[in-house]
Amino acid sequence: DQQVKQNSPSLSVQEGRISILNCDYTNSMFDYFLWYKKYPAEGPTFLISISSIKDKNEDGRFTVFLNKSAKHLSLHIVPSQPGDSAVYFCAASGLDGGATNKLIFGTGTLLAVQP
Amino acid sequence: DARVTQTPRHKVTEMGQEVTMRCQPILGHNTVFWYRQTMMQGLELLAYFRNRAPLDDSGMPKDRFSAEMPDATLATLKIQPSEPRDSAVYFCASGWGPIYEQYFGPGTRLTVT
């Protein structure tokens, strides 16, 4: 049973436009959320995170929004660049009250930014 | 430039053979994770160590998989015997608890024929 879901396997966006990647979770006990980016033949790299006490976190072109009531978070990339083309994973943590820093990952969304 | 290293990067083996994958976590990190990437499940957590002690290996098929940390600079994941369904990319990640961010290695692509 997937506790973290990324329902869009792929997304195609024009360069310069906004990319919006979505993630849903089922367990309201999650209290920390992260986005990772993965290029082919490389490991995932940490991109941005958000704590459940916030509803928005911004880092340059990347902004993560959290809607706790809907159990939904999204990653906005503005403006999108061809170098952003990668697989994006959503991850969540906190089920064990912080006893561990184990992450639950979604299945990923492949973003293609067209020049 | 501190990074997680994994060896080998690629491994092709025949069904029934033993496979050992190695990981060197970032110096100073006290948590190590093993993941398997599949198309259907994304990144599945196989095992998790903190301060070299195994905390969670519930994601691992116990009959054939084993994970150890002989010392703070080496983590191993062993499959014996290997099966074609084990073909996947295996990632090691390290971190510093209780910080949630994890740093991933480049992965080992395993093909079992």
**Tens of pLDDT, residue by residue, chain A (115 residues):** 689 999 999 999 999 999 999 999 999 889 899 999 999 989 999 999 999 999 999 999 999 999 999 999 999 999 999 999 999 999 998 766 666 778 899 999 999 999 9
Contact across the interface for A43 and B99, Cβ inside 8 Å? no
| pLDDT for residue A64 | 98
Q: Nearest residue of B to residue A9 by CA position?
A: B39
Query: Which are the contacts of A92, defined by CB distance < 8 A and separation ≥ 6?
Result: A3, A4, A25, A27, A30, A32, A33, A34, A103, A104
| pLDDT for residue B62 | 87
Cα separation, B14 vs A99, whole angstroms? 40
Res. B96 pLDDT band, cuts 50 70 90 = confident
Res. B58 pLDDT band, cuts 50 70 90 = confident
Distance of CA A27 to the CA centre of its chain: 16
| pLDDT for residue A99 | 64
| pLDDT for residue B57 | 85
Reduced to 3 states (helix: H, G, I; strand: E, B; else coil), residue B110 is: strand
Burial of A108 (0-12, 13-18, 19+ CB in 10 A): buried
Tokens of A4: 């973290």
CA distance A111 to chain B (A): 15
Contact across the interface for B107 and A42, Cβ inside 8 Å? yes
B53 in reach of chain A (CB within 8 A): no
Strand locations in B4-64 (E): 5-7, 10-13, 19-24, 31-38, 42-50, 53-56
Q: Smallest Cβ distance to B48: which of A91, A102, A105?
A: A102
Res. B67 pLDDT band, cuts 50 70 90 = very high
Q: Smallest Cβ distance to A103: which of B97, B100, B103?
A: B100
Contact list in B for residue A100 (CB cut-off 8 A) is: 48, 50, 55-56, 97
Q: Which residue has the higher pLDDT, B97 or B104?
A: B104
**A61-85 as b/e, with b when 16 or more CB fall inside 10 Å?**
ebbbbbeeeebebbbbbeebeeebb
| pLDDT for residue B100 | 78
Mean of the per-residue pLDDT values of chain B: 92
Q: What is the mean pLDDT of the segment spanning B26-41?
A: 89
